[in-house]
Amino acid sequence: MSDTPSTIETSTSPAKGFGWEDSAELHKCEDGGGLFHRFKTIRRGTVAELILFVLGMPEDRQDDYAIQKDGDHTFRIGEIRRLSRRADFPLA
């Protein structure tokens, strides 16, 4: 379940937890034109699965990748590392 509320949601309670199971894509960021220059999709999975995948790479290559959470946010390596250290990270 996504932690991003729908625009037609009638509930006034805040979203609970982080959307670890939300769909996401892993992208390789090519050098040259900034973050979105020749952004290449490498694989799809849940946010949690892709965090583990990136952190399983050699440390000197991790910064070459970003995770795009569907319709929501792009995570670069600093944020990926912070998310992996959260107490509620499901695949630790």
- The answer on pLDDT for 26 being more than 80 is yes
CA distance 26 to 54: 8
Q: CB under 8 Å to 91, separation ≥6 — which residues?
A: 20, 48, 49, 51, 52
pLDDT of residue 45: 96
pLDDT of residue 13: 52
Q: How confident is the model at residue 6 (pLDDT cuts 50, 70, 90)?
A: very low
Structural domain spans, the chain = 23-84
List, in sequence order, the alpha helices (H) in 4-64.
Answer: 47-55, 59-62
Nearest Cα residue to 1 out of 16, 31, 12: 16
CA distance 19 to 28: 22
pLDDT of residue 40: 72
